[in-house]
Each structure stands twice: as structure tokens, then as C-alpha cells.
Structure 1
Amino acid sequence: MSKKTTYLLGILLTIIIGTLLFCYLCDDCYCCPEDEVTTEETNTIVAEPEVNQVTRNGFSLSDANGNFNVKINDNFNFKTSKFSILDTISPNVTEGVTKLKDFLLENPLKTVDITGYYKSDETNNSAFPNLGLARANSVKNYLVSQGIPSKQININGQLNDAINPDDSGTLFGPLEFGMLTSKEGATDEALASICDDIRKNPIVLYFKTGQAEINLTTDQREKIANISRCVDKLGVKIQVVGHTDNTGNANTNMRLGQERADFAKDYLVRNGILEPNIETSSKGPNDPIADNNTKDGQAKNRRTVITIN
């Protein structure tokens, strides 16, 4: 091969290699037909935020063994972590409650079951073991105010994380209603035993000198719920008695004991125990349970006792 031919081949090879490199490095060039270009696409999927649908439970109640049936879209509503019914009660609910009252008064063996729901992320600031029970108790009190006998109402509380509030924190009808028929002449021996135990082992609240603070234990919350049942079903009264140690003036101690009893009563009323069912009194220093000559004994004597008659 001549030098000239070799020289021409080198020039041609240089042109080919340069063209290929140019096409490879240039993004905007169209050196290859469109159908020969392979394009890799990356699809990024953005997850939509999870939106919980607001729960709206209606006021629905029927008697499987009778002819009572109420089904209303509205219900009793509550704010999250609260147990007081919101003030705006629908006229439809009021009408349904009136029908329920008439039916229960005509059928004294019928009882309505109220189950209040609560969520695990709510804060329970009530005196009851859980917010669901406190909400059911609030509805019970409303029914009683409308003329329904408390002995024909049962209340329960149940955890239910399936209920969802709206953006303002309102829970629409976190409740379930049912109806039962009791046997004529039947007695609730279990409840009678619970009420007797409360009389033997009442709630005892202890106070620091000059203070009246209430912090209930889990066991005391259970007793509050049981006391409420005893009042509703047996018609007993709650007795709240204030006690003091023997330091200071006797008259002052009697007054302090009464103030402690009244404070405990106010606490119970704020937590859904109807005021007419509570009686208060003071024994001051007159009924000690420990030696007033010691600081420990004095602390035990500064107490308020909550029981039933």
C-alpha cells in the first residue's frame, strides 16, 4: 500500500472517529435515527397524604323484641379529649329522646344500653376509668334530665380507634345504643355486692394542710364508676365527709372539713355525677383513724371519705 493511500485512510478513520465522538458527547445532536435512540425515563411517584374520613354515627336504636325503632342521622357530639356533650343538640335527637322516654315509661322492663367510644390518643381528664364511659355517662345524664329513669339506663366505655374527628376536633356521635329486656323480679346480685364493698371500702382522699387537691388512682376511678351505678340503679345517695387532724381551732377544723367535702362534691359534679345525688358533711377532728401526736398520723386524719348510704 502506497504512502498516499495510507495517508487517505488515516484521514478517513479520523473523520469517522471524530463524528462518532461528537454524536456521543453532544446531547442536542441527532446523529442517529429516532427509533435507534434508547431513552431511560425515571418515574417518581409522590404518595398522597393519608386522609381519614370523618366518622358520623347517627342516633340509631331499636328494640328487637318490641315495636320501637328510631334512626336519626344526627347524634350527641363531643370534642376530642372531652366528655361534655356539645351544646348544639339537634331537634331530631331531642324528638328521638322524647319517643324513647315514652317507650321506656310504658315498658319498665326495658333498658337502654349506651356505649361511649374513645380513641387511644385522647387524654382522659374525667373521674371515670376512660373517656368512653364518661361520655356515656354524660348522655345518660341528658336522658335523665328529659324524664328517663336512670335505673333504665346502662352505660359502658369502649376503645375504638376507627372513629375520626373533623378538622376542628369534633367527634360526631362516638356512641352506640342498644336495648335489653329484663326479667320481671330479677335482682342484680353482682351490683349489690359491689355497692356493699364500697360501703366497706370507700374512696379516701388525703389532703395536705390547708389544701384541697384531688388526684384519683386507677382503683378510685373504678370506684367512681361503680358508685355512679349504685346511685342510678339502687337510688342510694353519695356521702362525702370531710375530716381534719386536731391541730388548730376546733371550729376552724369543722369548717375546713366541710370545705374539703364541698370541694370533693364540686369535683364529682364537674365529672358528671348529678348534684342532687351527693350529700356533704364534716366531722372535723372528731373521728381520727390515726394518732394525732405524730406527723404521719395527722396526715392520715386529713382526709375526705366518699361512700354511699
Structure 2
Amino acid sequence: MKNTTLYLLGIIITILVGTYFYFSCCSYCGTIVSQKEEPEKSVTPAPVAPKATSYPFALGAGDFAYSTEDNFNFNMSSPNYLEPVSENVRNGILPGLKNFMTNNENKVLNITGYYTSDEKNNSAFPNLGLARANSVKNYLVSQEIPSSQINTNGKLMDNMVPDNNIYHGPVDFAIEEVSEDAEDEIKAMYDKITANPLILYFDTAEASINPSEEQRQKIADITHYLDKVAKAQCQITGYTDSEGSRSTNMRLGQQRADFAKAYLIQNGISESRIKADSKGSKDPIATNDTEEGRAKNRRTVITIK
């Protein structure tokens, strides 16, 4: 009886031990197999949007220095600064910058406007950066800072990042001494403009045009000259071919001259600096007997005097 009991007890212990090792080892193996069959999926992090760029309004020259994180702001593809101008920027311009420039005629303020190659340039200037610099220049002139002491430039800056289609401060400022060659440069520009004036050609009975890159550069040169020479004026004269009556041609020539005038005013040239008139079919530069010749006569000539 005793042997039988021990025998049964051994069988029970064997069953219990076997059961323990089965669940311990095989369940572990099952876990390994399951992990091999269903590996964890990697999660790709969401792309991080680049931080919008922002350039401060900062100036420093001798005994004048001013800076603020605010600046002139522009919509994408726009040559015109957004209004209202920040109070912090206005506080730097008046009276500080105005007084400094007025009391230091040997100083010039260089304004460099930034632009990107993705933007569309609908201004009258060769690039959007120069157009933006010109827009800021006009604001400073409205604050009685002499345009003769302001230079404008444009610079491609493709690393600019907009903030909801707005560029924050895409303009840079620097004050330096007037160039020793400044007078010679102005004289050379006068000779360049008068020797090769800006000529806009029109289709028959049309009075509008989209300037080419070369024509835009001539507009920039004329603007620069008017900024530097206070008594200079922009002269616009409209011409036609010989088709139609004299009165009709005089009116059409004036319309073309007025279009050019409005275009220049829209792009920052003061109306008081522009004179526009018409000569109709007078003074042709080519024969009116051919279409090619008539096309050359339908023109508006823009120069300085």
C-alpha cells in the first residue's frame, strides 16, 4: 500500500512538473514566433515646416544707432510695403534717422530689397527687390528724408521663408559715406539716358504695354536720376503713325503718353516730376508707307531734361 501511494505521488509530481515547463518554455517560444511574424512598424515623423524668416530694422553709423525687431513687411510678389508701418520703425525714422541724414549731407542711406526667384515681378523695375527698396525709399521721402541721400538696390534671397504669404522685413539698411565719384556717376547716367531714351512701342490704336527687362532697367535709371537731381524732370512724348486724322492722332499720342505717366506714378515717380505731351504723327522715325515703318512710329519716348 505504501509503495502504491509513493508510485501515484510520483506520477502526479511528474505531471505537475511537465505542465510547468510546457507553459513556461513553449509560451515563451510562441511569443518569439509571434514577434517574428508581426514585427513592430516604424513610424515616420511628420515633416517640420521651416521657420519663417524675419529681418530687423537696424541702422548704425557714428553717433546714430537704432534697431528693432519690426521692419517693413511685404506680401509675396508685391512691390509695396504693408501698412500701417510699425510704430517701432516709425520711432526710429522720426526724428532720429531724419535728423541724422539732414545734418550729415556727406552720408547716404543704402536700401537693399530682397526677393526670391519664386515670386512674380509685376513692377516697373528689373527685379522685385529693387521695387521693394524703391517703395521704402518713397516712404522715407514722405518723412522728409532727401531722396538725393538714398540709394536703392535689389538682391536675390532664395532662403527667405514667408509667414502666411507675408515676408517679414525683406529690406536691409546701411549708412555710408557719399562716393567720391557720385557726381561723375550722375553725369554718366544723364548721358546714358538722353543718348538712349526709353521707347515704348504700341500696337495700332493701343495705349498699353508690358515693359521688357531692358525697358525696366531704363525706368530704374530714370528713377535714380530723378532722385539725385532735384530740378530734373521726366519728359514723356507720345507719337503715332500717319493713319487717321490729325486730331485723332494727337489724342491717341496723348493717351499713350498718359499711360506711361500713370505707369511711372504707380511705380513711385512723383507726378510733379513728369511732363507728358503728344506730337501725334509728327517727327516720324521711319517711313509710314510700310507696316514695319508705321510700327516704329507708334511709340512713346521717355527721357529726362
TM-score normalised by structure 2 residue count: 0.86
Structure 2 residue corresponding to 1:34, chosen from 25, 28, 33: 28
Partner of 1:97: 93
Which amino acid letter does the alignment assign opposite residue 82 of structure 1? S
Give the 3 Å change call, closer, same or farther, for CA 104–307 of structure 1 in structure 2: same
Partner of 1:122: 119
Gaps of 5+ in 2: 1-21
Question: Could you say which structure has the higher helix fraction?
Answer: 2
What does the per-residue CA deviation read over 1:263-291, in whole Å, with 9 as the maximum and x for residues that have no partner? 01111111222222211111111111011
Structure 1 residue corresponding to 2:185, chosen from 190, 197, 212: 190
Partner of 1:81: 77
Residue 299 of structure 1 deviates from its aligned partner by: 1.4
Matched, 1:141 2:169: no
Identity of aligned residues (%): 48
Which amino acid letter does the alignment assign opposite residue 252 of structure 1? T
Matched, 1:255 2:251: yes
Partner of 2:17: none
Partner of 2:55: 57
What does the per-residue CA deviation read over 1:162-213, in whole Å, with 9 as the maximum and x for residues that have no partner? 221112x111111111000126x75442342232111111111111121112
Residue 128 of structure 1 deviates from its aligned partner by: 0.7
Structure 1 residue corresponding to 2:224, chosen from 225, 229, 232: 229
Structure 2 residue corresponding to 1:265, chosen from 240, 261, 264: 261
Partner of 2:208: 213
What does the per-residue CA deviation read over 1:18-40, in whole Å, with 9 as the maximum and x for residues that have no partner? xxxxx9xxxxx987142785334
Assess if the C-alpha contact under 8 Å between 1:195 and 1:226 holds in 2. no
Residue 50 of structure 1 deviates from its aligned partner by: 3.2
DSSP-derived class of the 1:32 partner: helix
**Whole-angstrom distance in 1 between the partners of 2:218 and 2:181:** 24
**Whole-angstrom distance in 1 between the partners of 2:83 and 2:241:** 43
**Whole-angstrom distance in 1 between the partners of 2:41 and 2:64:** 59
**Whole-angstrom distance in 2 between the partners of 1:45 and 1:128:** 49
Which amino acid letter does the alignment assign opposite residue 245 of structure 1? D
Assess if the C-alpha contact under 8 Å between 2:109 and 2:176 holds in 1. yes
DSSP-derived class of the 2:26 partner: coil
CA RMSD of superposed structures (Å): 1.9
Structure 2 residue corresponding to 1:295, chosen from 285, 291, 301: 291
What does the per-residue CA deviation read over 1:70-97, in whole Å, with 9 as the maximum and x for residues that have no partner? 1112111110000111121112211211
**Whole-angstrom distance in 1 between the partners of 2:42 and 2:267:** 53
DSSP-derived class of the 1:179 partner: strand
DSSP-derived class of the 1:60 partner: strand
**Whole-angstrom distance in 1 between the partners of 2:24 and 2:276:** 96
Partner of 1:160: 157
Q: How does 1:235-246 map to 2 (within 5 A)?
A: 235=230, 236-246=232-242
Assess if the C-alpha contact under 8 Å between 2:201 and 2:296 holds in 1. yes
DSSP-derived class of the 1:117 partner: strand
Gaps of 5+ in 1: 1-22, 24-28
What does the per-residue CA deviation read over 1:37-56, in whole Å, with 9 as the maximum and x for residues that have no partner? 53343442313223111122
The number of residues matched between the two structures is 278
Assess if the C-alpha contact under 8 Å between 2:207 and 2:252 holds in 1. no
